[in-house]
Amino acid sequence: MLDLDKLRALAKETISRDDIKYLIGWRQGTYGFRTSPHFVGNLEDAEQLIFSPLCSSNLATYLTLAEKRPVPRGAQPDTRRVAIMVKGCDSRAVVQQLVEQGIKRESVYVIGCPCEGIIDRRKLEEKVPHTLERVEARWENGKIILDLPAGRAAFPRDEIVAGKCLTCRYPNPVIADVTVGEDVEVRGSAGFEDINWLEVKNAQERWAFWRDKVNSCIRCYSCRNVCPMCYCAECILDKLNPAWIQRSVNVSENTAFQLARAFHLAGRCIECGECERVCPVEIPLSHLNRKLVKEVSEQFAFTPGIDPEAKPLLAGYRPNDREAFIL
Amino acid sequence: MKLSKDKLADFLAAIPGKTVFGPQLSGETLRFTPVTRPGNLCPTVNNATVPPKSVVFPQTETMFRFEQGATDIRTAEPSGETVLFGVRPCDARAMSIVDNVFFWDVDDPYYLIRRTNSALVGLACLDPCVNCFCTSMGGGPASTEGLDILLTDLGESYLLEVLTGKGEMLCQSAEKLLSQASSADKEAAKMLQEKAAAQISRQIDPSGIPARLPALWESPIWEKISASCLGCGICTYLCPTCHCFDMQDETEGEESRRYRTWDSCMFSEYTLHASGHNPRPTRRERTRNRINHKFSYFVDKFKVMACVGCGRCINLCPVNIDILDILSQVGEQAL
Amino acid sequence: MSENFEPNVVAFLCNWCSYAGADLAGTSRIEYPPNLNVIRVMCSGRVNPMFVVNALQQGADGVLVSGCHPGDCHYMEGNFLARRRFALMRELLNFVGVDERRFNMSWVSASEGAKWKDVVTGVVNNLQEAGPFTEFPRKKIDW
């Protein structure tokens, strides 16, 4: 169990350092089961910091999302480090960003938070609808304890955690300058049961499945924006000349959009499941990513976001890569 | 008047020559789509994720078509009359707010046709969501603004209140299916509506907001609020009062079309100039614009706030940016 | 599918091997199905996987990407990089329900006119069986 006082003390100590610009963590949200990314710039902010099974956001996104304002003439750019709290999956995003040189190691200070699984708000709201009061949650002996308005409730972990947590093989941060709490047991399997059921269907059935899902896409781009690996200065989806993907919203363009998004994460997706969590129309986006994770692992024995010294998968090759599909 | 629930299918079928749209599952979420089997309608569970504005203001709408080498264009004219069934009072109110924009200095021809050809059959909201705050924005779970008919679910039947001439026309074609409502029915409906209004627990007094916003233009709150913003389009695309669109051309072989498609002020591209200059360069300015547009500019022009309190942006924001939280911050800031 | 269906195949051929191979097939008077729309690119590594998606959107029934044999790339490693990309793109397309016969990749050198004929014949025959691509071409959408 995590001691919040210790976490906050660590945060205060961290942001008091001269070489830290601010700390990115989580705070309780405005209602119910929500939490929100929290930017800690002073000691007061640190008091609101939390880490609980409700802390769903992958904060690594903010390392690359932060807007760089022009430095006034004569002033020195602020080169202080950004401190960031990461769960296991989030830490893989940091590593992958380092691999791709999206960020520099000396510009981040990583606070690792071993994680026993994050609550899927949709699953929880099915069991406990209409909760306005802020709810706190914690892990305890393999269960998730919630302080609901009606009283304390314990839920078996596997019933309410996100799908990504059921298959998670890296609950402990793979990179950290300092760790809060103790390492947790790895429970996820290396298998791909979550997508096997779809793979065994025939092509028509698979298309029927995806057509239905893709058809409901509203192109809000939240899946792209929330993704810690989507940090191109100009995204292919935004380009107009040439327009790789038209702005019109229909099955054709939506499919192209989702294929582009998934493919651009091939060998890069660190399975944080944020795309799926934020999708307002509940498209099972991580199925696409998991399919590629599976292929990358089986064909190239590669797992992204583990080794900061690794080379990006698609920027390299082996002469004996599998080529059974080539005529 | 009263409509028995088992006659709902017949009621919808009796509407001649009109396409009925209603909240139905599309993928995993509810949106307004043409009703083919009334059994598929889900009017009673949560409000549709995509608001019914998508029927009168489709996300992608062809404006005209043209061909290579030809000098004429073929204007696309929306045709056909529609009935929107099961619209929540908040969404109906939103449509009458959006009318202000599309019928402002010139009438938008596409919107005009779709809007005048549509009738709104509302369903009083008896089980408000956690984040509903319609009562604070001048509406309510049984508000009739913008609706042609209001239904109230009495369990076995709907109490049917005809509100406009359009609504009367709809009922005429299905007169035989309707029965007279007793005063007990009306009383029961009133009770249910009041109970629903009392259930709405999120409240705010927005009356001072429009006056405060201009003074808070450079306030540090915008930086704070927007810090966690991802810049996605959820809050605007799914807002029933957001109405911005972008126009694009698309070519396929020798055929081309110009269409318009929803746009969002939360995208950096929205204000990007051809020169590369962006007058709203960061999410701070974009967030500030979203709030100012809804609660300041719109009030200046049309004397009404462009927010109906449906709660969608709060429910679906990936990072819990809460419009009520923003408004209370705006309300509390020292000027 | 009926025998009459003539698939529309978009072929991305690398300048140095496959395009020359196809050229050789032509100059050697080797007959092969005329269903190809050839787009010459400098290297198979230049073919963005989104080209394939775009081709399918714009009415292709199938796509063929062809480059130099591994080790023969004019740019040393372009075809190796392409091979990795398309190994993944192919699986992704298949996963969303695009028939696997619609995406093909081959290595054809400048001297392999006969192989080129075999590749094209195989691809076209397969696509005749698979039928027209109806999943997500733009034209199917009413605009």
Q: What is the DSSP string of B48-96?
A: PSS-THHHHS-SEEEEEEEETT---EEE----SEEEEEEE-HHHHHHHH
Cα separation, B188 vs B190, in Å, equals 5
Same domain, B292 and B188: no
Same domain, B188 and B211: no
Tell me the CA distances in angstroms from C15 to C38, C48, C51, C123, one per residue in order. Answer: 11, 16, 17, 20
Strands B255-262 and B245-252: antiparallel
Which of A27-31, B24-28, B121-125, B270-274 bottoms out in mean pLDDT, i.e. has the lowest?
B24-28
Does pLDDT of C142 surpass 70? no
Nearest in space to C13 (alpha carbons), one of C51, C39, C49, C48: C39
As a three-state string, the secondary structure of C40-108 is EECCHHHCCHHHHHHHHHCCCCEEEEEECCCCCCCCCCHHHHHHHHHHHHHHHHHHCCCCHHHEEEEEC
Same domain, B113 and B215: no
pLDDT, residue A55, reads 96
Please give, rounded to a whole number of angstroms, the shortest distance from the CA of B62 to a CA of chain C.
7
The count of structural domains within chain C is 1
**What one-character DSSP code corresponds to residue A177?**
S
pLDDT, residue C140, reads 63
Chain centroid, CA A167 distance in Å: 14
Does pLDDT of B135 surpass 80? yes
Which residues in C92-108 are b (16+ Cβ under 10 Å) and which e? bbbbbbbbebbbbbbbb
Q: Please report residues of A whose CB lies closer than 8 A to that of B224.
A: 39
Cα separation, A224 vs A260, in Å, equals 11
Q: What is the DSSP string of B162-224?
A: E-SHHHHHHHHTTGGGEEPPPHHHHHHHHHHHHHHHHH------GGGHHHHGGGGTT-THHHH
Domain extent, residue C29, equals: 9-140
Does pLDDT of C1 surpass 60? no
pLDDT tens column, A115-172: 999 999 999 999 998 899 999 999 998 899 999 999 999 999 999 999 999 999 999 9
Interface test with A, best of C66, C94, C96 (most A CBs within 10 A): C96
Chain B's closest residue to A228, CA to CA, is B230
Predicted confidence band of residue A195 (pLDDT cuts 50, 70, 90): very high
The residue among B199, B218, B252 that closes a domain is: B199
Same domain, B121 and B87: yes
Nearest in space to C75 (alpha carbons), one of C67, C85, C87: C67
A89, part of any domain: yes
Same domain, B35 and B86: yes
Interface test with A, best of B265, B320, B324, B325 (most A CBs within 10 A): B320
Beta carbons within 8 Å of C112's beta carbon, 6+ residues apart: C21, C24
Predicted confidence band of residue A12 (pLDDT cuts 50, 70, 90): very high
Domain extent, residue A276, equals: 4-315
pLDDT tens column, B162-212: 999 999 998 888 888 899 989 999 999 999 999 999 999 999 999 999 999
Q: Please report residues of A whose CB lies closer than 8 A to that of C89.
A: 263, 266
The continuous run of DSSP H or E covering B146 comes out as: none
Domain extent, residue B309, equals: 206-332
Does pLDDT of C143 surpass 70? no
Please give, rounded to a whole number of angstroms, the shortest distance from the CA of C126 to a CA of chain B.
26
Cα separation, A203 vs A214, in Å, equals 16
Place of tokens 């009334």: B38
Q: What is the DSSP string of B305-333?
A: -S-----HHHHH-TT---HHHHHHHHHHS
Q: Please report residues of C whose CB lies closer than 8 A to that of A299.
A: 87-88
Cα separation, A197 vs A288, in Å, equals 13
Interface test with A, best of B45, B228, B312 (most A CBs within 10 A): B228
C48, part of any domain: yes
Same domain, B185 and B321: no
Tell me the CA distances in angstroms from A175 to A8, A227, A305, B77, B331, one per residue in order. Answer: 20, 19, 10, 58, 42
CATH number at residue C43: 3.40.50
pLDDT, residue C141, reads 67
- Chains with ≥3 CB–CB distances under 8 Å to B: A, C
Does pLDDT of B45 surpass 80? no
The count of structural domains within chain B is 2
C2, part of any domain: no
A270, part of any domain: yes
Please, is A219 exposed, middle or buried when counting C-beta atoms within 10 Å of its C-beta (0-12, 13-18, 19+)?
buried
Same domain, B159 and B221: no
Q: Please report residues of A whose CB lies closer than 8 A to that of C98.
A: 203, 207
Q: Which of B65, B252, B259 sits opposite C139 (nearest CB)?
A: B252
Cα separation, B269 vs B279, in Å, equals 11
Predicted confidence band of residue C139 (pLDDT cuts 50, 70, 90): confident
The residue among B199, B223, B247 that closes a domain is: B199
Same domain, B47 and B132: yes
Length of chain C counted residue by residue:
143
Same domain, B62 and B105: yes
C61, part of any domain: yes
* Terminal Cα distance for chain A, rounded: 56
Same domain, B270 and B142: no
The residue among B199, B234, B263 that closes a domain is: B199
C3, part of any domain: no
User: In this structure, which amino acid lies at residue B87?
Assistant: V
Nearest in space to B85 (alpha carbons), one of B187, B9, B140: B9
pLDDT tens column, C8-64: 999 999 999 999 999 999 999 999 999 999 999 999 999 999 999 999 999 999 999
Please give, rounded to a whole number of angstroms, the shortest distance from the CA of B271 to a CA of chain A.
13
Place of tokens 């007959």: C31
* Percentage of residues of chain C with pLDDT beyond 70: 95
Q: Please report residues of A whose CB lies closer than 8 A to that of C77.
A: 317
Residues 3-42 of A with CB under 8 A from C: none
C4, part of any domain: no
Is A216's CB within 8 Å of B269's CB? no
A324, part of any domain: no
C109, part of any domain: yes
**Average pLDDT score over chain A:** 94
The count of structural domains within chain A is 1
Please, is B85 exposed, middle or buried when counting C-beta atoms within 10 Å of its C-beta (0-12, 13-18, 19+)?
buried
Please give, rounded to a whole number of angstroms, the shortest distance from the CA of B232 to a CA of chain C.
23
Same domain, B45 and B145: yes
A52, part of any domain: yes
Residues 252-291 of A with CB under 8 A from C: 252-253, 255-256, 258-260, 262-263, 266-267, 288, 291
pLDDT, residue C34, reads 94
* C53 close contact with A: CB closer than 8 A: yes
Q: Which of A255, A292, A326 sits opposite C88 (nearest CB)?
A: A292
3-state secondary structure (DSSP) of residue A28: strand
Beta-bridge partners for A151:
A148
Q: Please report residues of C whose CB lies closer than 8 A to that of B252.
A: 58, 138-139, 143
Predicted confidence band of residue C68 (pLDDT cuts 50, 70, 90): very high
